[in-house]
Structure 1
Amino acid sequence: MRWIALTVGLSVLLATLAGAQGWHEPKRGTVERKALMDALRGPAQSLFGAPVEFVVGELRVSGNLAFAMVRAQRPGGIPIQIETTPGWARNEFMYDADHTSGQALYRKEGGRWVVKDYTFGATDVWWSYGPICKVYRPVIADVCQGM
């Protein structure tokens, strides 16, 4: 009985904390989620070639700001062969990185989501930089602590 009460209590606490964070995650299949992924698809296809789909790790929206952590792949879960991509031909990838893991910062402008900054293959938490935190804190506060 105590286990059930503890589990229910923990669930309520986590739900409260999620609401307190000030952002939400658009659910799979929603127009908002599709719009965010479509906005990132152009930059991703410039690097990897078409077609590209994403496995979403994090997707956060607060007002007119959004943040995404994704892994790019070919439709159907097929891995991208980096050595065959336009980005590889232009020498845009670092050798030690997971090239298909990416992050993006968005702003909603004129009713549509626009990617303002993004990186695929980062080896650091580039979005925790002070000026970025100042603007995007509503969706990345957990990496901006102390800034």
Structure 2
Amino acid sequence: MELFFDMIQIKRITIAEINDILPLFDSYRVFYKMESDIDAATKFLKSRITKEESIIFAAYENNKAVGFAQLYYTFSSVSLQESLILNDLFVHADYRGKSFGEQLLLKAQEFCKENSYKGLALETAIDNPAQKLYEKLGWEKDYHAFHYFWQVK
């Protein structure tokens, strides 16, 4: 299903559209201090889609991809339900503030509802200005848990 908001089109990405978002995905990684690597990015995204490990939505303006959101599956043993993690959200700098991010978030929420998932989780930097947008769209900040990460060294 595709959504249109004025000139914004939100579309689920398949293998056939990976090239549409590769420059965005690479820019996203560079933003997080990783080296540009289109070949590795291509392999990574193709693997996620082929193995059905993620859902990727892209925002288009005039048939040009300007942003994307990538969702991953997760599960809760306590509630016995599936959930999604909004792992990646990126809009090209030239298109920020024009509701592309908002429309991607709304599409992720709609997808979650349509498929009877428990909800969506995300993690963001404490200084990320997008927090205001998340809260506007009904996301609630988690105050009752800490987030930990163990890294293999």
What TM-score comes out, normalization by structure 2 length?
0.31
Q: TM-score, normalised by structure 1?
A: 0.32
